[in-house]
Structure 1
């Protein structure tokens, strides 16, 4: 019998999206094919400490609701779903686990599935560490991860690729602190109101505000500045928000297209992860020609950042002007069975468990492809 693939899952992280990562990791651990894989949980605590839990070789109980390094705490039958969610996200220290030697993980796993969302995980930092350690991993590489995380740089790459996007301006936090009035004058002159203010390096809509006047703009700039030193401001367009998944390395496929129907003014963190009446329409009701344009633009965006593995690409569809505008690419989207990316591929005929397996295989294939590169001059002889 062939040995199982040792799959490490890195989750948690020093990020505002720590809780989202916990949910993603738990979902993957409960769904992975344990006839094919044995799972090594690697938890990055909020203080940056890396610790390992017990290797998972058998199915987790269905009522597991708190996971720290493979430590399971069973819920009583009387616990409500809200209590279970609170327990899952609580910030207690693990009851077991040992410090992880980051650079020796390659001796203990065959491939890593990194599911740290946001800065210090999705931005190329963890990917760079895994490259240095020579460990295959799921998802985009260092450059693609960094570009996909940085909205300012992403927009520059999209512009070079000829992808249509909304008008925007970018500022450093220091510029805003020195002369916020001048910055707001520039925003009003180029974009007007309403407009969206975003930290360049942040995910899950954290730190994003919609400003309708100068007072709200000033407050929005201050909020965004708490999360990053680089800030972008985008024009508002009245449009439908649609999203599509991309899967593959050099040969890529796209998923069904979904639409976000936000109950609030925009799809913020609260709407994404805490409900609030937001609806997801899968598949989105769009004309065939529009679907084809979105599919092709998603592939082009993925290739423009040199993506691999997975990404979710978000668009605006302006029905009045029949205009498709790219918003952003997310290289590590939410990955629970009820997150948009897995649901889009489920609609396309690839269920959650199979999607996990495909992504792991793509990570291994990408690693093998990279081994063909010559790294030293003497190898030319």
Structure 2
């Protein structure tokens, strides 16, 4: 962990250099030693070399203290739990700091973005779409800005659904400050995500970088309202360049906040009038993401031992391994917390978290208010 923190705080070294070094040498520790020897994908300047030779121990220690807190995580490029969809994105971050549940980054997500100065009509549309998409099983991802972003997060939370906020600051800071309460709710019921180390303040250049992560985590991006100079158009452009679907809600020709959406539609975004259109378009992709998650769980250390002689750890209903059957029996028909399920099944909390995520993707389990799980009866 110290190696990753040292690398991420190295000045003038960008994500591409770090990703290449870690991929070439197999780990952050090996990459750090290679960079110190001068074995680098590109020539390092004097400032970077000084830091690599003598990093500030106080900064690294502060990062470690943040990571020692409950539900704080670092997912590096060499971590198999680094989100699958984001790994495909050119220019993906070398690592992510997460305050909350990191498994949510593998969930099928729809990004909802738009104007910071949205109209009341736009905010109402945002809430309606967010609730419908959440009810269909999508995690709502946005940037926790004023306007559409905040409304999307809040609508998901009020629907007892998950939401992910990607930040332009360190994961320990809240910007804008008015969203402190919202950030706390997101961390407790979803995840705050940042590529910037703790303590990193908001800077204008951070937000376009944040936008590529918002679109990169999601199967598709919905733009609700946007002026022609809106930052949400950057997110839409990133989504398009990443090969992801872009959806835009049209508006009145007299509304300046509709012009950005109209421009997106002219450029090839899907004109969208209902959440059902997005759900239909992304359902197959969501199922494919579920397959990736199952493969990840089956390849995890210890997965082979957990299978025993009963076949794959995750299979179609009626052919599950004993651990999944035990979990389904423990769920019953009443709401249960993760700790209660761990006590009933004897399974580790870390294993249960991944198993419950798979069961949600398969439509067998729902997560409700207060982090309580309920079994969904099959027809």
Larger RCO, structure (CA 8 Å, separation 6 or more): 1
Normalising to structure 2: TM-score of the pair? Answer: 0.22
Higher share of residues assigned helix: 2
Question: Which protein has the bigger strand share?
Answer: 1
Question: What is the TM-score when the length of structure 1 is the normalising length?
Answer: 0.22
